[in-house]
Structure 1
């Protein structure tokens, strides 16, 4: 092929790529503008309900108690050209909610979902991304998001809360509690549970207890660990600050029934009586 022919082929290929990129950009712009669609729906599923299971690609999900023996789901979904597709159905006495984005989607695809469940119902939520919130529930709660914050208030049953990347904030929990973040801070206030554990790869762990706990385990690879407990009780304390400092301002007794284990690879460890 002559040099002129090679230049012609190169020019043709370059023009084709430019047109392809322009077409993709145009579709994306359309998806973010004229193709934006928002839709609100509501569903009710009557009891009896033994469990709620949620599987979602993403979106913010909040779960609160229902005043009746029904599961009620209010969802606001937004997408370009097509919206996410929340779908609720029963399998025996278990309610399933599945939400996913279309296989082919341009621009935003997200949802805000509020779920009301009867008191005492075990709840299990798995989401690819988005914030998860549970408040005032009395049954077991399992929340897991790949990326987003997890918030819980006033849970009285066992709680297992996890995020791949995000903060975990809890308040007023009284059941056995397990908290885990791949990267983010973990914070607990007004805690009343006897057994609680927390682990984060990067972030601080801060706990303040309303009632004296029986077992506390808190660890971070990089960050500070601060634990405040009510005055009076003695604890068997195992603290490892790694390269940081430690401050233990509670009564310690190696034979105590109450134990606190706090560790960090890089940061400070503080265990003290609260105000």
Structure 2
């Protein structure tokens, strides 16, 4: 037995300490490793570079609502109207998305108070099939508008989507005029419609309700557009400007009213709602 082996055998055995797999998060923006706890306490915003991470409805509601908000029931719709199948059956994809997110569909709506201001808020979850717009999203949007009209409150929506849901074909595209008509109903009732665009908001969602707000707000760095940058460049055969389709670029070119950091959204929404609802008496 060598000297090294004898020394090794005399050293008391110390069990290897297990480190939780979720102790750190790698920031997609700057690639820095951030403590998960620090990241969550900072509203899922990187403390180093300010990158705004994607969050789901539950986290969003907790951030902007006062305690005591309530979820609106999810409308029931036909789940596989076209009997669509690619590499998987469409119902199987829906089941997997529901199991992963705990949500019925990609748009979740709740009622509550934002610093004393009543509001109905819808949040799209990109984790649910890319936040894609289908029958369920369209029905939830209309239900949110109807709840806002009934409560004499504004409707606020946080968008995050890759566009229309291809598994529902033309039925998904029909949600574009459907949601547009719902917004007209809200305006006829004299109530404001506020849009907060988050990363990413693209496709048919951008071409419909995401760009029809009375006030257009976006989170910093959010990707916002209809077609992808490579598709546009190959179509027009020109190089697009730096930062094209990002929130700051759109603000500079007049497509947004403001770009607001997540930490300031609650106060901003409360102030905007207060301005727009001034003088409106609940029915």
Q: Same fold (TM over 0.5)?
A: no
Q: TM-score range by the shorter chain?
A: under 0.3
Based on CA coordinates, which of the two structures has the bigger radius of gyration? 1
Q: Which one has a larger percent helix, Structure 1 or Structure 2?
A: 2
TM-score after normalising by structure 1: 0.27
TM-score after normalising by structure 2: 0.27
